[in-house]
Structure 1
């Protein structure tokens, strides 16, 4: 499970956009979005760089949670 801090997510549309972007990269990815905590948890075979790129391409600022 990889965890990312994502800024700018405010609503259900944001959740759908981020989830869709990640699942377009890995159709089997399991994505959990915590709007209040501004975090996205992803269970995927892809590396963090690929997942971050997908989130950023949707227009959100993201980094690996640490």
Structure 2
């Protein structure tokens, strides 16, 4: 299992709920953590890599990137 962290342009609770909803539907993704003030999302994944997770997060229409 690998933990990934992303920068996501979230401005409200609705944004964070949308990110959580997208990630929770993915097989092998767990331990989703939202840090709304710092606009960070972290999750564990056993099946998807960072690029695949990023592609799914971008489906909510928010600007996002892999955190360094």
Pairing 1:51-66 to 2, within 5 Å after superposition = 51-66=53-68
Runs of 4+ in 1 over 6 A off after TM superposition: none
Instruction: Please point out which of 6, 9, 25 is paired with 2:8.
Output: 6
Which consecutive unaligned segments of at least 5 residues does structure 2 have?
A: none
SS of equivalent residue, structure 1 residue 29: strand
* CA RMSD of superposed structures (Å): 1.3
- In the superposition, the TM-score normalised over structure 2's length comes to 0.85
Residue deviations 1:2-22, cap 9 Å, x none?
100111x11111111001101
Tell me which residue corresponds to 1:47. 49
Q: TM-score, normalised by structure 1?
A: 0.87
**Count of matched residue pairs:** 65
